[in-house]
Amino acid sequence: MNAIEIIGLTKIYFSSGGRKKVEALKDVSFEVATGSIFGLLGPNGAGKTTLIKIILGITHPTTGTAMLLNTSIDNYFIRRKIGYLPENHKYPTYLTGVEVLKYFGQLAGAEPTSLKKKTDELLELVKLSNWKKNKIKTYSKGMMQRLGLAQALINDPEIIFLDEPTDGVDPIGRKEIRDILADLKAQGKTIFLNSHLLSEVELVTDRIAILNKGVLLKIGSVTELTEKKEEYKISVDAENLIEEIASSGRSFHLKPQKINGGYSINVSGDEELNLFIDFLRSKNYLIKEIVPLKSSLEDLFINIVNESEKGMK
């Protein structure tokens, strides 16, 4: 089943009195399966925030629509089952941590009877218990982000939208947030994540989509998208390996390329890899390291975005 269905969303912003037109989203469609963690990636201004804002009724789509839990987003009651951490969220600064959760919990339709208990639980979860009675104007950026996460969970939502949740959070805090997300997933919640911190997304998401200038470029699981043909990095002390292969008269499919500290080779299979090792050993080269190369999400991201930019020109 799909928790989120996005159906042909297009959003055109008109600014400076209608003279300037920005197509923030261009006919975007995709689904997010119930109980999964989904990451939406894209450079600044790609339209990630716009997409979430449309789904949550903060901005109106130009055309297209979306469904949450099989209910149209035009029905605002469905937001009772939704949690949201906006980017650059700002709470009334005169409230304390507890009051923020109480206030927005009430607005979100949380059960009044369980609200107090839930508030304490969540503040414990995001490690703000010691600060709960302090006014939030005294909070640091990372603390605000944790509070925002707690606020997004206050009504025990089925779907949680997080716009740059780790923004301004230190590495330990990020790890904690990742653990919280994994925990939520284990409870069967669906999580929709906006981020440009690719190394983080890689660690938690089941599926990702890449968005650039309002266009959905790619969608799939992280392993699917980052998988590469067999390629290895071999570290070996050899000055003129490429010439030596050429003069040896042996024809490998591989085309070794010099990279820092060694060579990278493409092989057609394990057999060829071993043949190449035999060759190196026959020349008495010392092999120091053989590492399979996998393109990182970052490489993928940069490649896809660059290609699409070229395509647009």
Partner 1 sequence: MLYTLREAFARKVFLFFMIISGLILLTEIVIFSMVDTEKIIASLNSTGDPLMRGQIIEKIELAVYSFITSLLLLLAIFASASFVPNMLEKGTVDLFLSKPISRSQLLLGKYFGGLLVVFINISFLILGMWLLVSFKFSYWDFSFLSTILFIVFTFAVLYSLLVFFGVLTQGSTAGMMIAYFIYIILSPLLAQAYIQIDVWTENKIYIYLVKGLYYIVPKTAELLGTDAINVVTGAGIDDYQPIITSFLFLILMLGFSIVLFRKKDF
Ligand X SMILES: Nc1ncnc2c1ncn2[C@@H]1O[C@H](COP(=O)(O)OP(=O)(O)OP(=O)(O)O)[C@@H](O)[C@H]1O
Residue numbers at the binding site for ligand X (CB under 6 A): 13, 15, 22, 24, 42, 44-50, 87, 196
* Residue recorded with tokens 């159906």: 7
State yes or no: residue 166 binds Mg ion (CB under 5 A): no
For partner 1, which residue of 17, 20, 44, 94 counts as binding (CB under 8 A)? 94
When the beta carbons of 30 and 263 are compared against Mg ion, the nearer one is 30
CB count within 10 Å of CB 14 equals 11
Separation in Å, CA 211 to CA 3, 25, 166: 20, 9, 20
Q: What is the dihedral of CA 140, 118, 158, 64, to 10 degrees?
A: -50
42 binds, among Mg ion, partner 1, ligand X, none (CB under 5 to 8 A by kind): ligand X
| Minimum gap (Å) between residue 51 Cβ and ligand X | 7
State yes or no: residue 57 binds partner 1 (CB under 8 A): yes
State yes or no: residue 59 binds partner 1 (CB under 8 A): yes
Separation in Å, CA 2 to CA 28, 52, 220: 16, 16, 15
| Minimum gap (Å) between residue 169 Cβ and ligand X | 16
Cα–Cα distance for residue pair 189/155, rounded to 1 Å:
13
Instruction: Give the rounded distance of the alpha carbon of 62 from its chain centre.
Output: 26
State yes or no: residue 49 binds Mg ion (CB under 5 A): yes
Both tokens of residue 269?
């299979």
| Minimum gap (Å) between residue 182 Cβ and partner 1 | 24
Cα–Cα distance for residue pair 62/12, rounded to 1 Å:
6
When the beta carbons of 20 and 77 are compared against partner 1, the nearer one is 77
46 binds, among Mg ion, ligand X, partner 1, none (CB under 5 to 8 A by kind): ligand X
User: Which residues would be at the binding site for partner 1 (CB under 8 A)?
Assistant: 13, 53, 56-60, 76-80, 82, 84, 86, 88-92, 94-95, 103-104, 107-109, 151
